[in-house]
């Protein structure tokens, strides 16, 4: 496999998830501005193409990081964090993303060897109109070179 196939498979799994039906858009690549009717949304961004770790013959084992950035536009600070009966909070959003992807663990539908998810940060928008998180997905895969 390659990093592009893994990124596309990740987007496909998130788009088709029954747990994420409330998501309006899934974008690939960083956006300078996302408009109000696009929320809640997910942005998929890569921090690097790949980092080679092992080379055996013509098989290379790589590590690849995808940042999955869920974002909500909710002004109420408590609802933005934990949600309520009608709105998902950022913690619910993160849980739904993890549930969706871990349902395909360890191989993301046979596109990689294994992956792991971590949440290094949850933050507010600068104008306090919503919240976002960064979920880092580290993927280990092999490719023939």
Sequence ranges of the domains in the chain: 3-144
9-54: pLDDT as tens digits: 999 999 999 999 999 999 998 777 788 889 999 999 998 766 666 6
Average pLDDT over residues 121-136: 94
| Residue 55 in tokens | 């080379």
pLDDT digits (tens, 9 = 90+) for 46-97: 987 666 666 778 888 888 899 999 999 999 989 999 999 999 999 999 999 9
Residues in the chain: 145
Written as six digits, the tokens of 68 are 């999955």
Burial readout 33-65 (b: 16 or more C-beta within 10 A, e: otherwise): ebeeeebbbbbbbbeeebeeeeeeeeebebebb
Cis peptide upstream of residue 40 (ω within 30 degrees of 0): yes
Highest mean pLDDT (candidates 61-65, 102-106, 109-113): 102-106
pLDDT at 33: 77
> Is 51 or 118 the better-scoring residue by pLDDT?
118
* Nearest-angstrom CA–CA distance, 116 and 94: 14
Rounded Cα–Cα distance for residues 70 and 39 (Å): 9
Distance set, CA 43 to CA 56, 59, 110, 113 (Å): 34, 31, 23, 24
Q: Give the residue-averaged pLDDT of 112-137.
A: 94
Hunting for tokens 């109000």 — which residue is that? 36
| 3-144 CATH choice from 3.30.2000.30, 3.40.50.10800, 3.30.2000.10, 3.40.50.720 | 3.30.2000.30
Query: What's the mean pLDDT in 99-105?
Result: 96
pLDDT score for 52: 67
Task: Name which residue leads in pLDDT, 2 or 45.
Answer: 45
pTM of the model: 0.91
Please say whether the dihedral angle defined by the alpha carbons of residues 77, 118, 139 and 21, taken in this order, is positive or negative: negative
Residue 67 · residue 135 · CB < 8 Å: yes
């Amino acid at each position: 496999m390659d990093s592009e196939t893994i990124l596309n498979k990740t987007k496909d799994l998130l788009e088709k998830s029954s747990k994420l039906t409330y998501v309006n858009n899934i974008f690939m690549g960083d956006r300078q501005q996302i408009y109000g009717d696009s929320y809640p949304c997910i942005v998929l961004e890569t921090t690097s193409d790949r980092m080679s770790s092992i080379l055996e013959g013509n098989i290379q084992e790589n590590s690849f990081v995808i940042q999955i950035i869920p974002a909500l536009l909710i002004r109420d600070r408590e609802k933005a964090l934990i949600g309520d009966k009608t709105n998902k909070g950022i913690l619910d959003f993160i849980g739904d993303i993890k549930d969706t992807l871990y349902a395909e663990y360890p191989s993301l539908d046979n596109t990689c060897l294994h992956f792991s998810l971590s949440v290094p940060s949850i933050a507010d928008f600068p104008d306090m109109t919503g919240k976002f998180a960064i979920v880092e997905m580290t993927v280990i895969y092999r490719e023939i070179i």
